[in-house]
Every structure is written in C-alpha cells, then in structure tokens.
Amino acid sequence: MAQSNLPQSILAGTAPKKMRMLIAKGLAPIPPDEMLPLLVCLIKDTDSEVSTQALQTIAAWDEEEIRTQLKSPNCNSSVLEYFASAEKSDTALQTIISNPASPDSAIRSIAATAPAHLLEAILDNRVRIIKSPDILESIKKNPLSSPQIMRLVREIETEFLGDKEKGYEVEEPAETEISQASSVELEFDIPPEDLSLEGLPIDSDARESEIIKRLATLPMREKIRYALFGNREIRSVLIRDTNREVARTVLRSPKLTDNEIEAIAAMRSVGEDILREIGNSKSWVKSYTVVQNLIKNPKTPPVVAQRLLFRLRLQDLTLLTRDRSVSDAVRYSASRALRQRAAHNSAR
C-alpha cells in the first residue's frame, strides 16, 4: 500500500492489521501531527490488540509534543476531543480551552469535570458560550463548580441567554418593546419627516439647553414621536432621557446614522441598557469604533465589554490594560486576553 494512502485507509478502517499495528506502535514514517489523529482513531479499533497498543503509544507520547499539537489551530478535532476527555493535566486542558479550533463537544467534556480555575477560563470565552450555551449546563452539573463560578454562570445566562437578553435584542424587536407606552396611541398620522423645534438659539450650549427644556414638557407620546422622527440634535438629547422606553426608541429611529451610534457608544450619560443593546447588535458591533468606544466606556456593563475584547487590535488591547478609566474587571480581562493572544502567536 502506498504511504500516501496509509492515513486514509486507517481512518476508513480498510487497512490490514499489519499496517494498523505499525501505526499503533508509532513506527510508521508519518509526521507527528498526522500520527496522533491516527492513534486516536485506532483506539476505537475493533481488534483489541491494536486498540490497546494505540493507547499505550499515546500514553508514552512526549507531553510537550502533545501540547504543541493541542495549541495548533490546525489540530484535528478528534485529537482535541480525545485529550479533553482523557487528559488530566491542567496545562493540556488549558491549552484545549484556549484553542479557538477546539470543538464545543471538547469544551463541554472539560466543563463537566474541570476544577474552578479552568471553568473560569471556559467562561471567559463569551462568544463560544453564546454559540453553545449547553456548555453552561455541563458547568452547572460539575461538582467542582464554586459559588463564584455559579454566580458567573447566572450572570451570563441573564445577560445573554435569558429573558433579559430578549428584551435587549435589536435585530428582531418584540411587538411589546415600547411596553410603557402601550397605553398611549402610537399610530402616528404624520409622515416620517425630520421633526424639529422652532425658534432655537444659535449658540450650541444654549440651543441644547432649550431643547432639553422643551422636550421635558412633552407627554410621552410626543417624546416617542420625536425619538423616531426628530433630527439629530433631538435624538442626542432623547437617547439620555430618564425614561428607558423613550431612550430605546431612539435606537429604532429610521434616521439614526452609524456616526450617531459611534457617538452614543462613547457617552457616559446614557443608560447601561442602551449600551448593552448596542453591544448586543451584530450589525452595530461590526464597526471597530463602536466596539472600541463601548469597551472604553465605564458605563458599559462589564460582561458586554469583556465579550468584545477579542475584537481589539493588539495595540489598543495593550493600552486598555493600563487604562484606569475602565473597570478593574475589564482591565483584568484585557490583560488575560493579551496573554492568551501572545501565547497563541508564540505557538505558530
């Protein structure tokens, strides 16, 4: 059998026993990164002699070589899954957790039995958790989950996976979004024109002060109308309105621009729910400026800022680790993300 066809025949289960034993003993002239997936495959061989030999060869495999493969973004998923369930070394498990290529099934396997410090590392990857929330179920069933880990799990469920998340969804707003205004007649009989307030001062400070004063006297129905159809100056005031529904209506204005979203993301005078909603919008966080402004805004909920850290460029991530204007939690997460990125780059 040609050497080039050997791996395929092993994986397909068509190789003769002599060839399978050669692989199981680690004696075939195959590179380590190709040999390990074959050994993992042979562990399930129907011939017990072959499977036992494969297990023994893996057990004797150089640990540093195994970790090098587990770090690789090209590491075979079967290898990652095998060591996630069989490996007891914290270093190897941490390597699997940190590898973006690790399949969710491998992370679930680790989450079911790992100690608290590894569970914390798993929970740091919010993107993976949102994509595969059943990882949280594995963590909750883990007897080693600490009270702190359980609190973090509940926080993630509330922010991203529970009813609260649905309330902040931007792409598909619920029919009852303007719940407090449901008793107000919201079927406006006006065209969506750029509504403005007449007779405003020219001076910018005096102008904003007058806009705030006039809007404060309006009933809620009128405020919502201006939030939807008002001009940019009016929207910049109403996004800071103390009534949450009025402020959130601004985000649904058909006249809202990308530049306004960038500015709102940097505002420290808006409510946390507004910043959370922007951070949860797939379309808005496509903007690097929006992401950067949200992360640097101390009013942004830490779980939202932490989830967006992976989007930052190396230089901005480094600056963030020294930025005292952000919360300790975000700064700590930035330092961890920086270390993980450095470790990943060094493994290449």
| Residue 173, domain member (yes or no) | no
Could you tell me the sign of the dihedral formed by the alpha carbons of 275, 277, 282, 284, in that order? negative
pLDDT at 236: 93
Q: In the 8-state DSSP scheme, what is residue 159?
A: I
Residues 147 and 187 occupy one common structural domain: no
Residues 198 and 239 occupy one common structural domain: yes
Could you tell me the sign of the dihedral formed by the alpha carbons of 326, 330, 335, 340, in that order? negative
| Residue 174, domain member (yes or no) | no
Residues 158 and 77 occupy one common structural domain: yes
Question: Cβ of 268: how many Cβ atoms within 10 Å?
Answer: 10
Residues 139 and 156 occupy one common structural domain: yes
CA 91 to chain CA centroid, Å, is 23
**Structural domain count of the chain:** 4
| Residue 185, domain member (yes or no) | yes
Residues 263 and 250 occupy one common structural domain: no
Residue type, 289: T
What distance in Å separates the CA atoms of residue 97 and residue 84, rounded to the nearest whole number?
Answer: 9
Per-residue pLDDT of the chain (348 residues; tens, 9 = 90+): 444 455 566 666 667 788 888 888 888 777 777 888 888 888 888 888 988 998 998 888 888 888 888 888 888 888 899 999 886 678 889 889 888 889 999 999 999 998 888 898 888 777 788 778 889 999 999 998 888 888 888 877 776 565 434 433 333 333 333 333 333 334 444 444 556 777 778 888 888 888 899 998 888 888 888 898 888 999 999 999 988 888 989 998 888 999 999 999 999 999 999 999 999 898 899 999 999 999 999 999 888 998 899 889 999 999 999 888 888 888 888 888 888 888 777 766
User: Is residue 7 within a helix (H) or strand (E), and if so which, with residue range?
Assistant: helix 6-12
What distance in Å separates the CA atoms of residue 326 and residue 305, rounded to the nearest whole number?
Answer: 10
User: Is residue 105 within a helix (H) or strand (E), and if so which, with residue range?
Assistant: helix 104-111
> Of the candidates 205, 222, 256, which is a domain's last residue?
256
> Of the candidates 13, 38, 61, which is a domain's last residue?
61
| Residue 171, domain member (yes or no) | no
Comparing CA positions, the residue from 272, 249, 264 lying closest to residue 164 is: 272
| Residue 191, domain member (yes or no) | yes
The number of residues in the chain equals: 348
| Residue 175, domain member (yes or no) | no
Residues 282 and 332 occupy one common structural domain: yes
Q: In the 8-state DSSP scheme, what is residue 160?
A: I
Residues 265 and 310 occupy one common structural domain: yes
What is the b/e burial string over 306-323, where b = at least 16 CB atoms within 10 angstroms of the residue's CB?
bbbbbbbeeebbeebbee
Could you tell me the sign of the dihedral formed by the alpha carbons of 211, 216, 221, 224, in that order? positive
Residues 158 and 194 occupy one common structural domain: no
What distance in Å separates the CA atoms of residue 313 and residue 341, rounded to the nearest whole number?
Answer: 11
What distance in Å separates the CA atoms of residue 306 and residue 21, rounded to the nearest whole number?
Answer: 48
| Residue 322, domain member (yes or no) | yes
Residues 245 and 269 occupy one common structural domain: no
Residues 35 and 51 occupy one common structural domain: yes
Q: Find where tokens 């005292």 sit.
A: 324
Which of helix, strand or coil describes residue 281?
Answer: coil
Structural contact between residues 142 and 171, judged by C-beta atoms closer than 8 angstroms: no
pLDDT digits (tens, 9 = 90+) for 235-262: 999 999 988 888 989 998 888 999 999 9
**The token pair that represents 340 in the structure block:** 């993980």
pLDDT digits (tens, 9 = 90+) for 35-91: 888 888 888 888 889 889 989 988 888 888 888 888 888 888 888 999 998 866 788
> Of the candidates 61, 91, 108, which is a domain's last residue?
61
The helices-and-strands tally (H runs, E runs) of the chain is 23, 0
Residues 93 and 160 occupy one common structural domain: yes
Degrees, nearest 5: CA angle 71-77-81: 90
Q: Which domain holds residue 8?
A: 3-61
| Residue 8, domain member (yes or no) | yes
Structural contact between residues 234 and 197, judged by C-beta atoms closer than 8 angstroms: yes
Residues 227 and 245 occupy one common structural domain: yes
Please report, rounded to a whole number, the percentage of residues in the chain having pLDDT higher than 90.
21
Does the pTM exceed 0.85? no
Degrees, nearest 5: CA angle 96-111-156: 105
Q: In the 8-state DSSP scheme, what is residue 230?
A: B
What distance in Å separates the CA atoms of residue 324 and residue 302, rounded to the nearest whole number?
Answer: 14
**The token pair that represents 64 in the structure block:** 């540093």
